[in-house]
């Protein structure tokens, strides 16, 4: 076998089977046992056993790679001799290897079932000098210190070093025992120059000794703190025993205070039992331990809850009505429902049974209504915003096993109000989310269910707490995003958008006074006329609520405050219709969104959004083409389907024009719904789309100030839709004088505001024929005669239709 090594050293290009190693670097003169489990490596070992028992072992750059490629292996490895080997029952081979010499891979060779490599030997270069001897001795001494400080290397290695006289062997022995990463070991393996190898070992050993010193210092500090903590615990327990024997109770003042709080909290029997048990645990703990802090916080939380503390309700219904009227203008039906609710509470003396949910567009006063209810009945009010909440623990709390655990927000709110019957407003309940941390909407089911919330269990408390006396009020902008099970537990009260005269009164009586006080302006220093507030609403805002109106009034107040502060206006500053633009700039909106002229192919539809009702001016244009339907205005899938249904009906109706069977294959129909940048969806524009198409086909204009809503079927039936109240308010705001509603929505007419019913003629329709009769300026026979007269659909000289 020695002859084989000599031939290897003499031959610049030898071929050996290759075994990649995952997480070990084998050095020359090193004996080690390895388990070979990968099939290519097993084949390489068997090939070596059959020939000369020589292998090349190379370390992988990444130990996690199962099938290493050439680039996954280092270029320098060790030629080893196979000693004892035997096969294990699981198919792996345990091999004893002896490192012989360094080798540089010139190229890898892919054999049938294993990897081989052409290897060039790396010769050992050693320059004898006094410096080398000194370096040898220093490295040996440093490694001896390293072994003494490290508990991972056996002391027998020190004695083994004494027998080594060869400098190269010493450096390889030390390198193999160092607890350093494989990258540094690979650098040492690649160094044929012994002097350079010892220099690098000297540097590595000094760095490792410095790290060991730091680790030793940290361990000593930790041990010192542990001993101190144990000593304090021992002395603390000893002091308790001594004071107990002497009859001195002073040392128990803190625990006695906690026990007193537990007994005075009037909590449930189960809660008191758990709290006293935790107190006993706390007595046995060292006050310095983190667990003691957790237990102390738990006892503090559970004793500070309002187990039996409540405020006295003021259920004088007339006073409550007066308070609601003072705080909110309008909302007659909403206030009536709230007063009915409170009347039932007064008679039954309990709140159980109903959870109110205020649904309406932003800015109509949902949150402020909750505050007014709390103030009117004399209860404390707290608001809990649920928008964007994703974690179920926000409602139920975290278990105490987690670091930084705390109760859920319901329990936190009760602790904050110090009463068990506050008004808790769950704001934006329609904007709850869910992810891997749970579904907070499902957690709310227990909170809002009158049959379950007597025994609400928070994960942090781990004891039942009665929240049935809490008056829960929820708010939402829309209903379809609320889970059905949660929606079923609430009574829905809709808050429609404000009418123009209501906004004017709110602006004069509430918003103007609030902003004057906020900006430090007295009533004598500034006045805003009725006409100015009306123009702010018409030309500077487009909303169902009054938030934007309040912002505009605030903007005026800031400009007036600056004038007063600069001393430019010693008298009363009067904001009028004529000088409104000086404060708010150019108007942003037009008074009406309805086209004032009779136009063919233009119908007015109605939409319902989170902001309330909106007007849709749906336009249709015919042009020569290939029979395509072009839809623009960011229409959603449902709205696109409505347009296709409307076109099918309109084409069927247009057969009266006798244009020929192939006529529609040569005409394109373009439907546009402004504004183009705003996405739209829903079926309620079907009626207005069909009307606009038939208007275009028959060249008959749609009447001015007529608006419509409803879903259409292929047979021309008009089906009911939602948001009638909001749509009617938008129609009134836009100047509509006739409103066409599906017969299925006839029941909703009684819920419409009185101003809508007084100023708009409401017509219920069952089919598109009734819609056309009420909306078109002429009957269809006029359009048939006109089209036959001009001989088709397109005539550039056709005059505009008259009413």
Burial of 664 (0-12, 13-18, 19+ CB in 10 A): middle
How do beta strands 464-465 and 456-457 pair? antiparallel
Q: Find the helix or strand (DSSP H, E) in which 615 lies.
A: strand 612-624
- Could you list the beta-strand ranges (E) of 361-462: 381-385, 423-427, 456-457
Would you state the structure tokens that stand for residue 278, as one six-digit string? Answer: 């935790």
Provide the token pair at 430.
Answer: 């329609």
Q: How many Å from the N-terminal Cα to the C-terminal Cα in the chain?
A: 115
Task: Verify whether residue 684 is a known catalytic residue.
Answer: yes
Paired with 382 in beta bridges are 424
Q: Taking Cα atoms as reference points, which of 206, 212, 97, 210 lies closest to residue 152?
A: 212
From 727, 728, 738, 801, the catalytic residue? 727
Backbone dihedral region for residue 441 (phi beyond 0: left; psi -120 to 50: alpha; all else: beta) = alpha
Name the token pair of 191.
Answer: 């160094």
Please list the helix, strand and coil fractions of the chain in percent, rounded to the nearest 5, in that order. 45, 20, 35
Q: How far is it, in rounded angstroms, from Cα 220 to Cα 412?
A: 42
Rg of the chain (C-alpha set) = 44
Structure tokens at 455: 């025994």
Residue 773 falls in the annotated catalytic set: no
Q: Is 144 exposed, middle or buried (0-12, 13-18, 19+ CB in 10 A)?
A: middle
Helix 269-283 to helix 290-304 angle (10° resolution) is 150
Residues 753-778 as b or e (16 or more Cβ within 10 Å = b): beebeeebebbbbebbebbbebbbbb
Return d(Cα 584, Cα 328) in angstroms, integer: 26
What distance in Å separates the CA atoms of residue 285 and residue 292, rounded to the nearest whole number? 6
Tokens of 462: 């781990």
- Copy the structure tokens of residue 689: 């789309």
HEC letters along 675-709? CCCCCECCCCCHHHHHHHHHHHHHCCCECCCEEEC
The values of phi and psi at residue 356, to 5°, are -80, 140
Q: What does 338-381 look like in DSSP terms, one character per residue?
A: HHHHHHHHHHHS--TT--EEEE--TTSSHHHHHHHHHHHHT--E
Cβ-Cβ contacts under 8 Å for 312 (sequence gap 6 or more): 378
Residue 272 near residue 262, CB atoms below 8 Å: yes
How far is Cα of residue 772 from the mean position of the Cα atoms in its chain? 48
| C-alpha closest to that of 37 among 94, 100, 121 | 94
Options 171, 176, 468, 684, the catalytic residue: 684
Angle at 18 between CA 17 and CA 20, to 5 degrees: 160
| Contact in structure between 549 and 510 (CB atoms under 8 Å) | no
- Indicate which residues carry an active-site annotation: 684, 727
């Amino acid at each position: 076998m020695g002859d084989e090594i000599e031939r290897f050293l003499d031959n610049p290009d030898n071929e050996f089977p290759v075994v990649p190693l995952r997480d070990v670097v084998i050095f020359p003169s090193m004996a080690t046992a390895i388990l070979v489990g990968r099939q290519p490596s097993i084949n390489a070992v068997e090939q070596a056993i059959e020939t000369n028992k020589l292998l090349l072992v190379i370390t992988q750059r990444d130990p996690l790679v199962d099938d290493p490629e050439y680039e996954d292996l280092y270029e320098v490895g060790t030629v080893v001799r196979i000693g004892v080997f035997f096969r294990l029952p699981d198919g792996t081979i345990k091999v004893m290897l002896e490192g012989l010499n360094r080798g540089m891979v010139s190229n890898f060779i892919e054999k049938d079932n294993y990897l081989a490599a052409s290897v060039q030997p790396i010769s050992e270069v050693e320059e004898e000098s006094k410096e080398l001897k000194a370096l040898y001795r220093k490295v040996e001494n440093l490694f001896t210190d390293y072994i003494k400080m490290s508990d991972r290397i056996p002391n027998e290695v020190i004695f083994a070093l004494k027998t080594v006289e060869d400098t190269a062997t010493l450096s390889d022995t030390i390198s193999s025992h160092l607890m350093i990463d494989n990258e540094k070991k690979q650098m040492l393996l690649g160094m044929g120059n012994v002097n350079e190898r010892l220099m690098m070992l000297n540097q590595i050993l000094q760095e490792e000794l410095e790290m060991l010193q730091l680790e030793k210092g940290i361990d000593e500090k930790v041990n010192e703190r542990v001993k101190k903590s144990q000593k304090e615990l021992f002395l603390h327990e000893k002091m308790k025993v001594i004071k107990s024997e002497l009859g001195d109770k002073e040392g128990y003042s803190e625990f006695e205070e906690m026990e007193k709080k537990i007994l005075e909290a009037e909590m449930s029997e189960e809660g008191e039992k758990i709290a006293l048990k935790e107190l006993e645990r706390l007595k046995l703990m060292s006050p310095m331990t983190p667990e003691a802090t957790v237990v102390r916080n738990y006892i503090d939380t559970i004793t500070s809850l309002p187990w039996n503390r409540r405020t006295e309700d003021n259920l004088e219904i007339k006073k409550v009505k007066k308070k609601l009227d003072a705080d909110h203008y309008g909302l007659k039906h909403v206030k009536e429902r709230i007063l009915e609710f409170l009347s039932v509470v007064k008679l039954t003396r309990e709140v159980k049974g109903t959870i109110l949910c205020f649904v309406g567009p932003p800015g109509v006063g949902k949150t402020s209504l909750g505050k007014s209810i709390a103030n009117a009945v004399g209860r404390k009010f707290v608001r809990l915003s649920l928008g964007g909440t994703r974690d179920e623990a926000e409602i139920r709390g975290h278990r105490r096993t987690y670091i930084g655990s705390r109760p859920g927000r319901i329990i936190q709110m009760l602790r904050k109000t110090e009463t068990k019957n506050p008004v808790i407003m769950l704001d934006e309940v329609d904007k709850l989310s869910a992810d891997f941390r749970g579904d907070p909407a499902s957690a709310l089911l227990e909170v809002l269910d009158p049959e379950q919330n007597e025994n609400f269990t928070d994960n942090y408390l781990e004891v039942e707490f009665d929240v049935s006396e809490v008056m829960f009020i929820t708010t939402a902008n829309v209903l379809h995003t609320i889970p059905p099970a949660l929606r079923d537990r609430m009574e829905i009260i809709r808050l429609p958008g404000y009418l123009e005269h209501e906004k004017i009164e709110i602006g004069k009586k509430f918003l103007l006074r609030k902003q004057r006080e906020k900006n430090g302006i007295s009533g004598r220093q500034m006045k805003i006329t009725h006409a100015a507030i009306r123009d702010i609403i018409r030309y500077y805002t487009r909303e169902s609520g009054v938030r934007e109106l309040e912002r505009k009034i605030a903007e005026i107040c800031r400009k007036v405050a600056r004038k007063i502060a600069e001393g430019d206006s010693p008298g009363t500053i009067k904001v009028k219709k004529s000088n409104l633009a000086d404060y708010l700039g150019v108007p942003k909106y037009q008074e009406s969104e309805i086209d004032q002229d009779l136009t063919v192919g233009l119908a007015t539809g109605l939409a319902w959004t989170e902001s309330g009702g909106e007007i849709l001016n749906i336009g249709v244009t015919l042009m020569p083409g290939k029979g395509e339907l072009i839809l623009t205005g960011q229409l959603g899938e449902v709205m696109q389907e409505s347009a296709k249904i409307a076109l099918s009906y309109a084409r069927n109706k247009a057969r009266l024009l006798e244009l020929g069977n192939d006529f529609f294959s040569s005409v394109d129909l373009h439907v546009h719904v402004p504004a183009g940048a705003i996405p739209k969806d829903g079926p309620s524009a079907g009626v207005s789309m069909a009307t606009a198409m038939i208007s275009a086909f028959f060249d008959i204009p749609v009447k001015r100030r007529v608006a419509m809503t409803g879903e259409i079927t292929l047979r021309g039936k008009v089906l009911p839709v939602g948001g009638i109240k909001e749509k009617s308010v938008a129609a009134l705001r836009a100047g509509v004088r006739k409103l066409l509603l599906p017969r299925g929505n006839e029941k909703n007419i009684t819920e419409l505001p009185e101003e809508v019913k007084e100023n708009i003629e409401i017509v219920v329709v069952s089919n598109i024929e009734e819609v056309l009769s009420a909306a078109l300026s002429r009957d269809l026979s006029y359009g048939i005669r006109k089209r036959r007269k001009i001989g088709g659909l397109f005539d550039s000289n056709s005059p505009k239709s008259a009413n």
